[in-house]
Structures are given as C-alpha cells and as structure tokens.
Amino acid sequence: MARQPLRQLTQEQADHFVKHGWIKLEKCFTRQQAADVTKDVWIRLGMSPTDKSTWVEDNHMPTVNRWPIRDFAPKAWGALLDIVGDERLVQNKNWGDGFIVNLGTPEGEGQDIPPDRWHVDGQQRVNFLDSGEQGLLIMPIFSDIRPGGGGTMICPAALPIMAQHLYDHPEGLMPGYRPVGEEPHGPHHQFQRRTGRKMPPSTWVEVTGEPGDVYILHPFMLHSRVNNKHRDVRIVTNNRFPIKEPFQLARDDPSQYSLIERATLHALGRENCKGWHITGERKKFDDSRPRNPNKRGTQQEERDAEMARVKAAGMGHIYEGYNRMRKN
Ligand SMILES: O=C(O)CCC(=O)C(=O)O
Ligand SMILES: [Fe+2]
C-alpha cells in the first residue's frame, strides 16, 4: 500500500526535504499573530527596546504558554504531518513562547563574524541514527530577519557526515557527537563543532524571512547561532517535533518510509539500513543544568526569574491572557 498522498507539500518541496534535509514555508501564520504572541517580550526579558545597554545578546526564554500548531499555523501543521507521515506518531502538537531572542553585541555591530557555534540539537540525550526524540527541528520566525540580522546558519551539506557518524556508532553519541564510551577529549571531541568549522561558507544557508515563515529541518541538521551585525531584534523559536517511536530504516515495503526516513537514507546513500541495530541504551539526561553557557539558570530558575520580573512590573495578568489562548 502506498503512503498517504501529500496533504500540504508540493512534490517538489517533499523532494527538496529528502535531498537537502530542509524546507522553508512562507506565510504559515500572520504578522499579527506573531505580534500578538511576542508583544510582552521586553517585559519578560526585563530589557528596554530603546536602550541597547540593557540588552543581553542571546536569550533563550522559558516556555510559559503553548498553543496548538494545527490552529496557529495550519499550513506548517500539514507539512509536518507530510514529513512525519502519520499523526499518531506525533508526541507534541504545540508550539510555545520560549522565544530565542538574538540582540547582537556592541562588539559585533557592523562586523562580519563567521558562525562558530556549530551543533546538532540533542543535548539532553544519547543520540542514535534512528532516535525519534528530536523528530524535526522547526524554526518559526516571529520577526523580520534580513541577511546579517542574526538568523541561524544551517549547513545542509553536513547532513551526510552527521548521518554516517551516527551509522558508524550504534552504541550512541553523546551531545557533541562523542561516541558513548570514548574518553571526553578523545578523537571525536567536539565532532559537531569541528565538522562545522571545516564546511566552506558556500555550503551554509542563512535563515532569513518574515514573521510567519517556518523552516523545517532534519533532526541531524548542523546549525549555528550567528552574529547579529544589524542588532535587529531577532525572534524565533526552536521546536523539537518528537515522534513516539524510533525511525524505521529497514522497512520491508520501501513505499512506507516517511520523508524523514527517506532523507536519512539519502544522506547515507543507502537504500535501507538492514542489519543496523542500536547496541547502546536510549537515555535522557536530566534538565536541571543550563542548556548553554549564556543561559542564566535552569529552565525552572529562568521561569521563576521571569515571573518575578513580570510581577514586579505589575504585569502578572499577561500570563492569564496567554492562557486563554490555549486550546488544549
Ligand atoms: O539562536 C539561534 O540562532 C540558534 C539557537 C540554537 O541553535 C539552539 O539554541 O540550539
Ligand atoms: Fe540548536
């Protein structure tokens, strides 16, 4: 039996995802929707939009409210189902307001600085070729992002390298893609970052667009935060799209592969992964440590600090407004 026909994507978009591991969808939600959900960003951040001396470069805000993708961005939702292939596999049907706000730095203003924070998301677990926990990396855009304005850099050409490394290490890869069992400063120390540094700039793709545009990326996509030379207010979210089961890369009926699975096989240059099995343990680490060096605390600490700031500004009610937007 053939897979369901595409609901949202054109065949050309589906083929692009399989071949390159990413697509950009335009106008998945309106500029007004973006304005509505980001309207309290400055209060939440505790910074002033007009006083750059209050700005911190890289802000990973806690998620306080969530809303169903299906209602907020139906086109993106349709595309996601096309890529995953089956709604029953979808674990998290919401996006939220955990904005990532890149405000640039005084030193970086006007400067062209190459990206150097190359990584693949998956910091909280041991990663395998067939891991479903990341699912996809989805980047909805909530502000105007022009070239040089702090949009993330992605490197689709590194997908085959990441996929092969996962294939070669069925024992699993730690964050950064050091194989489980290898000493911390061994041969694969900072594998992701070092691979990124070797990729020529001609292979990079800069995330740019308008509020409402959405990038959908393969879970192994190498990407990096970039300098925001214009010091525009760059607002996105990064969402996982976890699926409930490991990906199946050795199906008896090849017509049943999802687009993600097909993209993984394409990156490996293989028809299937028959005979490949994980040999390590699927494991999640706890989330009580800061996600990156710029974070000011654990997720709970950040949430508490933000709530305290918002309450001190006499704006505690903003969260009630948000909560009314929630549908499930
Ligand atoms: O802020 C960005 O452009 C990228 C952030 C990112 O990749 C991350 O937080 O994992
Ligand atoms: Fe990331």
pLDDT tens digits, one per residue of 202-212: 999 999 999 99
For residue 124, the SS3 value is coil
Residue 308 has pLDDT above 90, yes or no: no
At residue 327 the predicted structure's pLDDT band, cuts being 50, 70 and 90, is very low
Distance 152 CA to ligand 1 centre (A): 7
**328 pLDDT above the threshold of 50:** no
Query: Which pLDDT score is estimated for 143?
Result: 98
Average pLDDT over residues 66-74: 96
CA dist 91 and 83 (Å) reads 14
Phi, psi of 67 (to 5 degrees): -145, 150
184: pLDDT strictly greater than 60: yes
Residue 143 or 288, more confident:
143
Select from 120, 134, 137, 223 the residue to mutate for testing ligand 1; criterion: most ligand atoms less than 8 Å from CB.
223
119 C-alpha to ligand 2 centroid (Å): 6
Question: Which ligand 1 atom is nearest residue 291's CA?
Answer: 9
Write down the pTM of the prediction.
0.93
Please state, rounded to an integer, the average pLDDT across all residues of the chain: 92
From the CA of 267, how far away is ligand 2's center (Å)?
A: 20
Domain boundaries, the chain: 11-287
* pLDDT(179) > 50: yes
Nearest CA, atom 10, ligand 1: 121
- Residue 305, pLDDT score: 84
As a whole-number percent, the residues of the chain with pLDDT over 70 amount to 93
| pLDDT score at 101 | 97
The segment with the largest mean pLDDT, out of 3-7, 134-138, 321-325, is 134-138
Residues 193-224: b if buried by 16+ CB within 10 A, e if exposed: bebbeebeeeebbbbbbebbbbbbbbbbbbbb
71 pLDDT exceeds 70?
yes
* Lowest-confidence region among 40-49, 160-169, 173-182, 310-319: 310-319
CA 117 / ligand 1 centre spacing (Å): 9
CA distances from 38 to 35, 143, 184, 218, 220 (A): 5, 9, 40, 26, 28
295: CA distance to ligand 1 center in Å?
Answer: 12
Greater confidence (316 vs 275) lies with 275
For the residues of 167-210, what is the DSSP string, one character each?
HH-TT-B-TTSPBTTS-TTSTTTTHHHHHHHHS-GGG-EE--B-
What number does the ligand 1 atom closest to the CA of 121 have?
Answer: 10
Is residue 323 predicted with pLDDT exceeding 60?
A: no
Q: Supply the pLDDT for residue 295.
A: 59
User: How much of the chain, in percent, has pLDDT values that exceed 90?
Assistant: 82
What average pLDDT does this structure show over 72-95? 97
Res 287: pLDDT: 65
pLDDT in tens, 245-286: 999 999 999 999 999 999 999 999 999 999 999 999 999 987
Of 56, 145, 208, 225, which is best to mutate to test ligand 1, by the most ligand atoms within 8 angstroms of its C-beta? 225
Q: Over 90: is that where the pLDDT of 292 sits?
A: no
Asked if pLDDT for residue 293 goes beyond 90, the answer is no
Ligand 1 pocket test, candidate residues 208, 215, 238, 292, most atoms within 8 A of CB: 238
Pocket of ligand 1 (CB under 6 A): 60, 100, 102, 121, 152, 223, 225, 238
Considering the domain 11-287, what is its CATH architecture? Answer: Sandwich (2.60)
Closest ligand 1 atom to Cα of 292 = 9
Element at 265 (helix H, strand E): helix 259-268
The CA 121 to ligand 2 mean position distance, Å, reads 5
User: Which strands make up the sheet holding 137-140, listed edge to edge?
Assistant: 22-25, 214-217, 137-140, 239-240
Residue 324 has pLDDT above 60, yes or no: no
Structure confidence at residue 298 (pLDDT): 73
Q: Write the residue with the smallest CA distance to atom 1 of ligand 1.
A: 225
